[in-house]
């Protein structure tokens, strides 16, 4: 039904304009008649557009669409009929213009009712695919088909005339097209009335008690106060303004390339081809990227492409720029329409769609008109005495491109649903099928320290020494490990590390399964141990964390490191340690230490090549982010290592506040106040701390 309606709309645009042009003689008169009908189709948007959405939300949408289609059926049918019975060209053209005005006014009511009804007919998960099909049909297939139908009818009409066949006036190409259009409206009305009853019942009724003026102001207030909708609407209008500048300056730009009408036609076709490609391929290209972010990036792409178009020295680069402009516009249109249908409540959806439809018409008309006037007035000028020509066309395109990019940035600030997540990193990850997650708000006041290193590096020893030192400084410390810090983690630890369990299994643990088990332990560990302790302001010291998975499963098992990184980031909600202490050791020395300690676990029994890869994996991670790592030679003296670790950790910790003096029985103070950082036993401090807090 929507495809037939779209074909009818495009055919009506072409047919009414050519019909009016055919009723007069003379090039000037024909041009005026053609342009007047096009202008009349845009004029109702200024007059009726703001109220169309209120009508779509106030009246039953099914009956609204049916009545609108029946009225358009009558009006379209009368345009060629009046011409049959009137010999006055002024009356014929005048009625064509008047009927066109009425048709466009009625269409402004029909479109919001249709657009607001679609989300109620289609599951939300399929809404984007439905919009994709509709937009490809509306802006890709049917404009070409409408032009082809009208051109074919004209060729047939001319062939019949050359053959001496007299064709009735009602069978002229434009008249036939208008009759076809009229009956397509009738068919649409019948389909909606008898075949799509589900549209009814989503509006009307209870809204009748609210005045139309109140509904109108409520709709605009909703748009103004809702950041997502505000950014969406203004972003769409900005994109259409940039597109209007491209269309308005197109013929002048073609002349600046040394071409003419053919060059303009090529650029115009490239924009529509790009539009279709953006709509058809965009969702597959960006994968799981947030549709809000996709919308804003699409507007930025269109803006950058318009700016680059202004710099194109010849046609081949201009065609590439035009394709990118169309692709950005197509993706923005698809994502914007999907967001409007999926995230705007049904009770105000018609008004929001009406604002978009009206705004795009007005902005497009103004952009085309003003850009054409400005380009005509500006002309081309040389820069100083260099003889380099700078045309107003290219300047205007550059300005429009910059404004389009700014509109995209502004829309992103209004409607970004993943704040704090790097935009381009999220885009590239989404294109690979792994969109970045939003970091969970930690609200942490504590410090998170992680010890990493190969087998036998001495992590446990250094963790114990640091724990003892921090407790002596009156710090609240939580020492934990991965895997195995929780009951669930202990069971996972047995599965991934116990050598006897691995030996008794019929098949070895697959590398990807191993990575998933570590991620499962980490997700539970962070949620139940690490984050709660950090929120309490405690110091968390963990024996292994994300880097172990990147080194052991990534480098050691040769799994894709970026996949392991994404999996770990998802499991932890983006929680990163404040400091990673990497105890680096030659695998042969470390494994020799393990051998003296006793039976090796499943990972410790891996080949020396495996452990070499693990070591280099750790060092690569530290090299990539040196500010967060402390890399130490694990073969050095234990106390020297402990001292260096303590100095680095001290930079992360707030000073220990002195305890207040305790009053004695005589009103004085019992004992002295220990100096900040002065060692005291953990028992003494715990008793004093409890007394102070109480």
Both 152 and 31 in one domain: the answer is yes
In the block, residue with structure tokens 């410790």: 604
Both 617 and 686 in one domain: the answer is no
Q: Among the three residues 150, 174, 209, which one is the final residue of a domain in this structure?
A: 209
Q: How many domains does the chain have?
A: 4
Q: How far apart are CA 113 and CA 372, in angstroms?
A: 34
Q: Determine contact, residues 397/310, Cβ cutoff 8 Å.
A: yes
Q: Report pLDDT digits (tens) over 197-254.
A: 766 655 544 444 555 566 557 666 777 778 888 888 888 777 777 777 777 777 677 7
Both 643 and 675 in one domain: the answer is no
Q: Among the three residues 390, 418, 438, which one is the final residue of a domain in this structure?
A: 438
Mean pLDDT of the 334-353 span: 75
Both 555 and 688 in one domain: the answer is no
Is position 22 annotated in a ligand binding site? no
What pLDDT does 533 receive? Answer: 92
Give the distance, in angstroms, between the CA of residue 182 and the centroid of all CA atoms in the same chain.
40
Burial call 465-492: b when 16+ CB within 10 Å, e when fewer: bbbebbbebbbebbbbbbbbbbebbeeb
- For residue 249, being part of any structural domain is answered with yes
Both 89 and 4 in one domain: the answer is yes
Is position 459 annotated in a ligand binding site? yes
Q: Determine contact, residues 614/582, Cβ cutoff 8 Å.
A: no
Both 292 and 188 in one domain: the answer is no
- pTM of the predicted model, to two decimals? 0.58
pLDDT band for position 45 (cuts 50, 70, 90): low
Closest CA to 449 of 419, 470, 422, 421: 470
- For residue 607, being part of any structural domain is answered with yes
Is position 460 annotated in a ligand binding site? yes
Mean pLDDT of the 326-353 span: 78
Neighbours of 596 (CB within 10 A): 7
Both 627 and 488 in one domain: the answer is yes
Is position 453 annotated in a ligand binding site? yes
As a residue count, the chain comes to 694
Residue 663 three-state SS: strand
Is position 455 annotated in a ligand binding site? yes
Q: Among the three residues 418, 438, 458, which one is the final residue of a domain in this structure?
A: 438
Write out the residue range of the structural domain in which residue 514 sits: 447-650
Q: Report pLDDT digits (tens) over 635-688.
A: 999 999 999 999 999 999 887 666 555 555 554 444 444 444 444 444 444 444
What pLDDT does 693 receive? Answer: 40
Q: Report pLDDT digits (tens) over 606-616.
A: 889 999 999 99
Both 507 and 455 in one domain: the answer is yes
Q: How far apart are CA 34 and CA 18, in angstroms?
A: 6
Q: In what order do the strands lie in the sheet with 629-633?
A: 477-481, 539-543, 447-453, 579-584, 629-633
Both 468 and 391 in one domain: the answer is no
Is position 634 annotated in a ligand binding site? no
Closest CA to 452 of 443, 462, 444: 462
């Amino acid at each position: 039904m929507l495809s037939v309606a779209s074909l009818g709309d495009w055919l009506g645009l072409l047919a009414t304009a050519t019909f009016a042009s055919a009723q007069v003689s003379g090039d000037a008169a024909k041009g005026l008649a053609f342009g007047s009908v096009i202008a009349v189709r845009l004029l109702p948007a200024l007059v009726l557009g703001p109220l169309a959405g209120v009508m779509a939300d106030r009246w039953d949408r099914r009956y609204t669409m049916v009545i609108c289609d029946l009225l358009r059926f009558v009006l379209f049918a009368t345009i060629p009929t009046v011409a049959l019975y009137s010999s006055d060209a002024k009356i014929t053209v005048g009625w064509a213009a008047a009927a066109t005005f009425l048709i466009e006014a009625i269409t402004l009511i029909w479109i919001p009712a249709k657009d607001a009804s679609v989300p109620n007919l289609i599951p939300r998960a399929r809404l984007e695919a439905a919009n994709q099909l509709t937009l490809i049909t509306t802006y890709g297939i049917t404009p070409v088909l409408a032009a082809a139908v009208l051109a074919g009818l004209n060729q047939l009409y001319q062939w019949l005339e050359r053959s001496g066949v007299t064709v009735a006036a009602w069978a002229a190409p434009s008249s036939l097209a208008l009759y076809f259009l009229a009956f397509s409206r009738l068919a649409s009305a019948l389909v909606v009335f008898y075949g799509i009853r589900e549209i009814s019942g989503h509006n009307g009724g209870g809204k009748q008690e609210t005045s139309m003026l109140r509904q109108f102001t409520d709709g605009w207030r909703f748009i103004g106060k809702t950041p997502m909708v505000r950014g969406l609407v203004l972003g769409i209008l900005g994109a259409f303004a940039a597109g209007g500048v491209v269309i308005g300056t197109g013929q002048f730009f073609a002349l600046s390339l040394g071409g003419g009408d053919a060059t303009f036609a090529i650029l115009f076709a490239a924009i529509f081809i790009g539009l279709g490609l953006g709509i058809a391929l965009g969702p597959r290209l960006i994968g799981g990227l947030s549709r809000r972010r996709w919308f804003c990036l699409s507007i930025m792409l269109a803006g950058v492409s318009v700016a680059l178009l202004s710099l194109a020295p010849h046609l081949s680069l201009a065609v590439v720029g035009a394709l990118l402009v169309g692709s950005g516009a197509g993706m923005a249109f698809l994502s914007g329409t999907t967001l409007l249908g999926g995230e705007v409540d049904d009770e105000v959806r018609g008004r929001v769609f009406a604002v978009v439809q009206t705004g795009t018409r007005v902005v497009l008309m103004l952009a085309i008109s003003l850009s054409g006037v400005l380009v005509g007035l500006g002309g081309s000028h040389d820069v100083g005495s260099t003889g380099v020509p700078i045309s107003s066309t290219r300047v205007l395109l550059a300005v429009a491109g910059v404004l389009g990019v700014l509109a995209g940035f502004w829309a992103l600030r209004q409607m970004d649903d993943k704040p704090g997540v790097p935009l381009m990193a999220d885009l590239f990850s989404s294109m690979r099928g792994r969109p970045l997650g939003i970091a969970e708000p930690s609200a942490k006041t504590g410090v998170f320290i992680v010890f990493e290193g190969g087998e036998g590096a001495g992590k446990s020893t250094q963790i114990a020494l640091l724990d003892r030192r921090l407790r002596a400084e009156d710090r609240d410390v939580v020492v934990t490990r991965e895997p195995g810090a929780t009951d669930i983690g202990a069971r996972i630890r047995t599965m991934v590390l116990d050598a006897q369990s691995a030996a008794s299994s019929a098949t070895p643990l697959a590398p990807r399964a191993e990575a998933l088990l570590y991620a499962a332990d980490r997700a539970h560990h962070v949620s139940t141990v690490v984050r709660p302790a950090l929120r309490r302001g405690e110091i968390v010291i963990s024996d292994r964390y994300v880097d172990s998975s990147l080194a052991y499963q990534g480098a050691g098992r040769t799994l894709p490191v970026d996949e392991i990184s994404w999996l770990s980031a998802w499991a932890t909600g983006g929680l990163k340690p404040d400091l990673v202490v990497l105890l680096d050791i030659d695998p042969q020395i470390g494994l020799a230490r393990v051998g003296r300690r006793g039976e090796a676990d499943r990972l410790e029994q891996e080949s020396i090549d495996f452990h070499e890869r693990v070591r280099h994996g750790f060092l690569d991670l530290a090299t990539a982010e040196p500010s967060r790592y402390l890399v130490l030679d694990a073969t050095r003296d234990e106390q020297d290592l402990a001292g260096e670790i303590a100095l680095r950790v001290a930079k992360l910790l707030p000073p220990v506040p002195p305890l207040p003096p305790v009053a004695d029985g005589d009103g004085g103070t019992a004992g002295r106040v220990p100096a900040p950082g002065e060692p005291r036993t953990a028992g003494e401090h715990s008793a004093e701390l409890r007394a102070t807090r109480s």
